[in-house]
Structure 1
Amino acid sequence: MIVESEKEINSLKAIGRVVAQTLKLMMEQAQPGITTAELDAIGREFLEKEGAQSAPQVMYSFLAQPASAFRLSSRTVSPATRYCRQGQLINIDVSAEMGGYFADTGGSMVVAKQVSEYDKMIEATKSALVKAVQAARAGQPLNGIGKAIQDEAKRNGFGVIFDLTGHGIGHKLHEEPTQVYNYYKSKDRRMLDEGVVLAIEPFLTTGRGHIFEESDGWSLRTIDRTIAAQFEHTVIVTKDEPIILTLA
């Protein structure tokens, strides 16, 4: 989507605020003993109260509600039956639609405990997102986003997940430009247009950087069972600082 009016900007800001607040609420409620289904119910209720609905349901008729706390995991999991455990690294991804506009956000956290190994990766992934957003300027190469992510990951002693990418968003959950890579792809010659809306989502890992989808059609697992983390913002690209839509 290319933003063409103030009305579109305000509509995107509105749904961006809703998904950001949903993510914040779900992360606050992710305590030991709660199931991912219960977390989904909390998120669904908040979305409905705000007049929004789950993007996976709107776009793909996916039965899970706004998010699965185990969307990205080093273990085999099922969103409807898994319990959050103290000290567990989880990822929550929230995407929703309101008034014909979509926004997408996500974050990783450790449940009710500090774990130095996990905390280091979480902070590095947050930093990679900041660097990636800063690289998203109109007239600049799209692959600068991936370079910023990969450079920051390497600086902190991590790798990236090559199989997962950011994407365009706006009137649909997934739009052009597709495959906003989380690593530097030299052959990608695309340039960033002013007003394009992107979901930027770095994924960092301690492993080889490849994943597969579980049989539930939703959960993801690293092939080498290593840990991974993700943070995500939806932004509008401008010639200056991007407009970050998904701030709570």
Structure 2
Amino acid sequence: MTVSNEEELAGLKEIGRIVANTLETMAAAIEPGMTTAELDRLGRKLLEEAGARPAPELCYGFPGATCISVNEEIAHGIPAERRIEAGDLVNIDVSAEKNGLFADTGVSFAVPPVTKSVERLCRDGRRAMWAGIGQVKAGKPLAGIGQAIGDFARKNRYTLVRNLASHGVGRSLHEEPKELATWPDAKERRTMQDGLVFTVEPFLSLGAQWATEGDDPWTLLSDPRAPTVQYEHTVVATRNGPVVVTLPG
């Protein structure tokens, strides 16, 4: 999607706040012993109360309102009877639609007590995302996003999952521009146009380089198995830089 007027931007900010607030409330509710299905039901309730529809379910028939991935699961985890335990690394990915507009956000959380390396991974996963967002500006190359994230990962001795990319969003959950690398990609030649809407969502890891299929049609696992985090915002590229629409408020 390319934003063409203030009404569209206001609509994106509205659905962005909804998914951000939903994610924030879900995160605060995490406690050892609860199931991912219980956490997902909370997310569904919050989205419905805000007049929004869960995007994975709406667009793809995903069996849940949100994606909740635990430990070796790094994306598209199906909410079910898996219990969250102390020490787990939990990723919540919330995307939804309202009035024909979509926004997408995600955060990883470590359930205490956790190791110092996992604490650092969570902190640096967020920093890696912001390194990429810092490269967002109309007229600049899309490749700069992955380059900045790659520089951060290399400097801090992390790996990046290289087959889970960012994507365009706005009129649908996934749309053009597709396959936006959050790692250095010499083949990327596209430029950010004014008003372009897309996600920035690196998968930073203590060793994983790929996502592989799990035992169901949805869940993706780290390969090789290693703690992995994802942080994601929906942004609009403007002449003045990035406008982040998935902020709570």
**TM-score normalised to structure 2 length:** 0.95
Letter of the 1:81 counterpart? E
Q: Is the 8 A contact 1:205 1:227 kept in 2?
A: yes
SS of match in other structure, 1:37: helix
Deviation by residue 1:127-148 (Cα, 9 ceiling, x = unmatched) = 1111111101111110111011
> What residue number does 1:237 align with?
237
> What residue number does 1:112 align with?
112
Deviation at 1:157, TM superposition (A): 1.3
Moved more, 153-162 or 208-217: 208-217
Mapping 1:154-193, distance limit 5 Å: 154-193=154-193
SS of match in other structure, 2:67: coil
> What residue number does 1:89 align with?
89
Deviation at 1:197, TM superposition (A): 0.3
Moved more, 167-176 or 113-122: 113-122
Q: Is the 8 A contact 1:52 1:98 kept in 2?
A: yes
Kindly indicate whether residue 117 of structure 2 is the aligned counterpart of residue 135 of structure 1: no
Deviation at 1:180, TM superposition (A): 0.8
Deviation by residue 1:188-247 (Cα, 9 ceiling, x = unmatched) = 111110100011101111224111121322222112211100100001101122110011
Deviation at 1:110, TM superposition (A): 0.7
Deviation at 1:115, TM superposition (A): 2.5
> What residue number does 2:194 align with?
194
SS of match in other structure, 1:92: strand
Whole-angstrom CA distance in 2 between matches of 1:214 and 1:79: 14
Aligned residues: 247
Distance verdict in 2 for CA 1:63–1:7, change over 3 Å: same
Letter of the 1:241 counterpart? G
Deviation at 1:47, TM superposition (A): 0.2
Whole-angstrom CA distance in 1 between matches of 2:155 and 2:79: 33
The share of aligned pairs that are identical, in percent, is 40
Deviation at 1:72, TM superposition (A): 6.3
More strand by share: 2
Whole-angstrom CA distance in 1 between matches of 2:152 and 2:146: 10
> What residue number does 1:62 align with?
62
SS of match in other structure, 1:237: strand
Q: Structure 2 unaligned runs (5+)?
A: none
Aligned CA-pair RMSD: 1.6
Deviation by residue 1:174-196 (Cα, 9 ceiling, x = unmatched) = 01110110111112111110100
Whole-angstrom CA distance in 1 between matches of 2:72 and 2:28: 18
Q: Is the 8 A contact 1:79 1:219 kept in 2?
A: no
Letter of the 1:196 counterpart? L
Deviation at 1:30, TM superposition (A): 1.2
Distance verdict in 2 for CA 1:19–1:214, change over 3 Å: same
Letter of the 1:187 counterpart? K
Whole-angstrom CA distance in 1 between matches of 2:206 and 2:175: 30
Mapping 1:1-12, distance limit 5 Å: 1-12=1-12
Deviation at 1:117, TM superposition (A): 1.2
SS of match in other structure, 1:90: strand
Q: Is the 8 A contact 2:68 2:90 kept in 1?
A: no
Whole-angstrom CA distance in 1 between matches of 2:72 and 2:21: 21
> What residue number does 1:43 align with?
43
SS of match in other structure, 1:68: strand
> What residue number does 2:150 align with?
150
Moved more, 150-159 or 211-220: 211-220
Letter of the 2:18 counterpart? V
Q: Is the 8 A contact 1:153 1:159 kept in 2?
A: yes
Q: Which runs of 4+ in 1 moved over 3 A?
A: 69-72
Letter of the 2:108 counterpart? S
